[in-house]
Chains A and B, each alone.
Chain A
Amino acid sequence: MIWNPNKECMSRDEMHSLQGKRLQKLVQYVYHNVPFYRNKMQAMDLAPEDIRSIDDIVKLPFTTKQDLRDNYPYGLQAAPPSEIVRVHASSGTTGNPTIVGYTRKDLAVWSEVMARCLTAFGVTRDDTFSVSYGYGLFTGGLGAHYGVENLGATVIPTSTGNTEKHIRLIRDLKISGIACTPSYALYLAETLEKMGLSKDDIGLRIGAFGAEPWTENMRREIEDRLGLKGFNLYGLSEIMGPGVSYECQEQNGSHICEDHFYPEIINPDTLEQLHGGEQGELVFTTLTKEGMPLLRYRTKDLCTLMEGECACGRTSVRMGRIMGRSDDMLIIRGINVFPSQVESVILEMSEFEPQYMLIVDRQNNLDTLQVQVEVRRDFFSDDIGRMLSLKKQLADKLRSVLSISADVRLMEPGSIERSQGKGRHVIDKRMLK
């Protein structure tokens, strides 16, 4: 099923022309309402009239996370305070949090795009849907909540918390769909089994998973243990929250709601726009946002864009899996290494906890990389040969993914320091020297 075929299946020409019109209007709007953008454009000798089609977007300035921090709290807000009806904030791991204000129309767009996602996952009015993202300043809970309501399914706002109670609700209320992080889904499966129940005791059929990176292996494991089909739900709070892109039944990339969020891929070093499916940094322009519209916001997420009509009938551009982050890139022996590459290898191997630490150092003028991982309790073996072969298996996979060899260290479970939120996974000792 398709929620809004007019937009989701629009011909490419119509889409480009719609995007062009919306971009022109957006540039006029921010030029006259956000001094930050007006100053930037004036410094570039750029007038709103210079933007005539969507292709002119390359003339516009970028916006970075640092710009959001520097303009804390409301510096980038375009709508007057009286028009703002809700505020969300993203957790700042460093420095100021990012404050995002939404107008009534922004919230309507948000529940529209969320309804598109849920419909693509197969949710209908007959479903009872549990939203188990955190409700609060984080966009996940409320964003998904209003999407479910807009679609007309029954929403159960379980948020996060008492998992056993949650499972009883899933069973007793015949909950058929759930939105949560993939790691919470795994925890849910664990708790279910601890309670002596199995997937056959509950009727979950659809999972909307996002807000953290996950792998095909995790998808299979969640699907096996919860008896549902899991879909990727992508979003970021600076742009809107969940609902920016979504997987359809084909699960070949995530369709972007590009009538509202215009995607570009750029080379993070030269800032040039890339085409033809090349990998680079994902950039979004909020074509219709009123509260805090952003021009060319650099997500730091590295991925590719896929054009071409999907077998599901949608024509919108799809984004591939996030392959890494452009900001935490390490250069080791001249090779670009992303902690997320190491992470995806570790997440694919069930023998390890999803915890790791990269220690980069320089010995005798040669960069060294040590990867510390925790062996899961259930996989610990008394056979030292098996432990060494596990270590070698990981080292081999890392070498094939990173193109450099890493010294793998097996650690005790629980020994790598847990950090709140997006963990810090790198100690670069070269910088200390």
Chain B
Amino acid sequence: MTIKQLSVFLENKTGRINEVTKILARHSINMQAFSMAETTDFGILRLIVSEVDRAVEILREANFAVMLTDVVCLRCDNVAGSLSVILEQLAENQIFIEYMYAFAEGEQANVIIRPNDITRCVEVLSDCKCNVVKEF
């Protein structure tokens, strides 16, 4: 019920994200979603991609520090308030969200969540009949 997210360590340096996207493009790996967390000197690029194992391999080959993280991806209606209902459920069940990011496509919105307790999070979401995405 979880999916693998690719995390890449990057120095804050012009063109560094572009290096990653170029390598993935060269190998025809599609990025479905991404977000960037940054500090003054470094950042962590988080990606959901089409072929995650191959992406890890080619990025490691290009000397990037890469790791896989389990995240939950859920799909909800792209209308006002739908995410709020879900987040309320998580909060009620004491699930803390370390980070999240979202992307909407038409009628639907996809939300990537990194919770502190991933098993509990999946349980709670299935109990409330949320649409948890198994794979892209």
Contact = CB atoms under 8 A, between A and B. Distances in A.
B65 A387 contact: no
Contacts of B67: 380-382
Interface residues of B, number: 20
Contacts of B37: 384
Interface in A406-430: 409-415
A412 B64 CA distance: 7
Contacts of B64: 412
A350 to B, nearest CB: 15
B69 interface: yes
Contact of B65 (A380, A383, A384, A388): A380
Contacts of A383: 98
B34 interface: no
Interface stretch (B3-11, B77-85, B101-109, B120-128): B3-11
Contact of A410 (B5, B7, B42): B42
A413 B42 contact: no
Interface string B21-46: 00000000000000001010110101
B9 A380 contact: yes
Contacts of A381: 67
A168 interface: no
A320 B65 CA distance: 38
Interface in B57-88: 60, 63-67, 69
A275 interface: no
Interface residues of A, number: 16
A375 B44 contact: no
Nearest to A380: B65
B65 A412 contact: yes
Nearest to B64: A412
A311 to B, nearest CB: 46
A377 interface: yes
A412 B114 CA distance: 24
A185 B53 CA distance: 32
Nearest to B98: A383
B9 to A, nearest CB: 5
Nearest to A408: B41
A412 B63 CA distance: 9
Contacts of A382: 5, 7, 44, 46, 67, 69, 114
Given A377-B65, A380-B67, A387 B44 contact: yes
Interface string A370-408: 000001010011111001100000000000000000000
Contacts of B65: 375, 377, 380, 412-413
B98 A409 contact: no
Nearest to A384: B37
B63 A414 contact: yes
Contacts of A409: 41-42
Given A411-B11, A414-B63, A387 B42 contact: yes
Given A375-B65, A381-B67, A383-B98, A412 B11 contact: yes
Interface string A175-199: 0000000000000000000000000
Nearest to B43: A384
A384 B36 CA distance: 11
A409 B98 CA distance: 24
Contacts of A388: 39
29 contacts: A377-B60, A377-B65, A377-B66, A380-B7, A380-B9, A380-B65, A380-B66, A381-B67, A382-B5, A382-B7, A382-B67, A384-B37, A384-B39, A384-B44, A387-B9, A387-B39, A387-B42, A387-B44, A409-B41, A409-B42, A410-B11, A410-B41, A410-B42, A411-B42, A412-B10, A412-B11, A412-B63, A412-B64, A413-B65
Q: Which 5 A-B pairs have the closest CB atoms?
A: A382-B7, A380-B65, A382-B69, A414-B63, A409-B41
